Amino acid sequence: MKIELKPIGFLRTDEVNIPRHWTVSEVEGTLNIDEQYVGGCKDIKAGQRIVVLFYFHQNPEFTPASLSQTPPHRSEKTGVFSICSPLRPNPIGMSVLDVLGVENNVIYTRGVDMMDGTPILDIKPFVQDKTSCPSSKG
């Protein structure tokens, strides 16, 4: 089976010291979405939170030795699927960002934990519970 993903845009930030996780980040950046997808941004508004799926484009190749890793905040090795390490079999990351504003195809955000130039794979609404889940019925 072959799976191909294409970026819908790229993250831009001037910050060099990127926090390890979005929960501890105040870094601002923009999601520059490809013009062909601008219609999908029409209901994203300032004050919302969005889930951003992205590709760890500068990771080294994953090896079986990375199935167990010691995170910086722990003293013992932990299975990769139980931690937020960027070194994963499929280098896909997820962040929850605060939306500061939207202008056409540019989404201004805070909480960035991605490097400048990171490929954005998808954007989803941040849903905290079942009652706030947007309907998918058309």
42-63 tens-digit pLDDT? 999 999 999 999 999 988 888 8
What integer pLDDT is reported at residue 3 of this predicted model?
92
Question: What number of helices (H) and strands (E) belong to the chain?
Answer: 0, 8
What integer pLDDT is reported at residue 132 of this predicted model?
58
Instruction: State the first-to-last Cα distance of the chain, in angstroms, to the nearest integer.
Output: 31
pLDDT tens digits along 89-134: 889 999 999 999 999 999 999 999 999 999 999 999 999 876 656 6
In the predicted model, what is the mean pLDDT of residues 86-90? 84
How many angstroms separate the CA atoms of 119 and 80, rounded?
22
Tokens for 20, please give them. 């390890």
Domain ranges of the chain: 9-61+77-129
Per-residue pLDDT band for 12 (boundaries 50, 70, 90) equals: very high
Contact 80, 69 (CB under 8 A): yes
What integer pLDDT is reported at residue 84 of this predicted model?
77
What integer pLDDT is reported at residue 129 of this predicted model?
76
b/e sequence 8-40, b meaning 16+ C-beta within 10 Å: bbbbebebeeeeeebeebebbbbbebeeeeeee
State the chain's mean pLDDT as an integer. 90
How many angstroms separate the CA atoms of 125 and 52, rounded?
9
CATH superfamily entry for domain 9-61+77-129 = YaeB-like (2.40.30.70)
